[in-house]
Homo-oligomer: A and B are copies of this chain.
Amino acid sequence: MSVRDDVKVLDATIRDGGLCNNFEFTDEFVTALYKANVKSGVDYMEFGYKASKHLFDPSKFGKWKFCSEEDLRSIVGDNVSDMKIAVMADVGRCDFKTDFLAKSESVIDFVRVACYIHQIPAAVEMIEYLHRLGYETSCNIMAVSQASTEQIEDALDMLCSSSVDIIYVVDSYGSLYPENAAALARKYIDYAEKAGKKVGFHAHNNQNLAFANTIETMSYGVSYLDATAMGMGRGAGNCAMELLLGFLKNPKFSLYSLLTFIENYMVPLRETGVVWGYDLQYMFTGQLNRHPKEAMAFTAEHRSDYCEFYKSLLDNF
Contact = CB atoms under 8 A, between A and B. Distances in A.
A262 B287 CA distance: 17
A240 B310 CA distance: 17
A246 B175 CA distance: 11
Contacts of A178: 178, 212, 215-216
Contacts of A208: 208, 210-212, 240, 243
A178 B217 CA distance: 12
A76 interface: no
Is the contact region of chain A dominated by helix, strand, or loop, or is it mixed? helix
A256 interface: yes
Given A178-B212, A263-B304, 7 more contacts: A177-B247, A208-B212, A208-B243, A246-B287, A256-B307, A262-B306, A263-B306
A307 B177 contact: no
A287 B215 CA distance: 14
Interface in A203-235: 207-213, 215-216, 219
Number of copies of this chain in the oligomer?
A: 2
A259 B219 contact: no
A280 interface: yes
Nearest to A179: B219
A214 to B, nearest CB: 10
A305 interface: yes
Interface string A234-251: 000000101100110000
A312 to B, nearest CB: 13
A274 interface: no
A293 to B, nearest CB: 20
Given A208-B208, A246-B283, A280-B242, A307 B263 contact: yes
Contacts of A287: 246-247
Interface string A270-298: 00000000001001000100000000000
